[in-house]
Amino acid sequence: MDAVADGPDEAVRLTAWVRGQVQGVGFRWWVRARALELGLVGSAANLRDRRVEVVAEGSRMACERLLELLRSPGTPGQVSGVVEQWGRPRGDLVDFLER
């Protein structure tokens, strides 16, 4: 990760690509609900290769918690892996959308 944030309250942008059985099982809805509970904005979108791309902006602590939840056994479907990328927030997101 770049030197993006100095502390748990610093704003960051998390992009996570989730693979496994994650389409058609309520996964995007579940991600949206968890993200809203954490005060994050962003989106969860199905990709053509059957992965789900999750983009979230907010505090580092909230984004790290969302990443933990994406990797937890409590997700809908079955997650076989998550690849993450961290960056600076763009500030262009106002809600959390399912796409």
pLDDT tens sequence for the chain (99 residues):
444 546 778 999 999 999 999 999 999 999 999 999 999 999 999 999 999 999 999 999 999 999 999 999 999 999 999 999 999 999 898 899 999
Q: Is 88 a catalytic residue?
A: no
Residue 19 falls in the annotated catalytic set: no
| Backbone phi and psi for residue 40, each to the nearest 5 degrees, phi listed first | -95, 155
DSSP H or E run through 24: none
CB 47 within 8 A of CB 53: yes
Percent of the chain as helix, strand, coil, to the nearest 5: 20, 40, 40
Return all residues near 43 (Cβ < 8 A) that are at least 6 apart: 53, 54, 55, 93, 96, 97, 98, 99
This prediction's pTM: 0.91
User: Of 13, 19, 46, 51, which is the active-site residue?
Assistant: 46
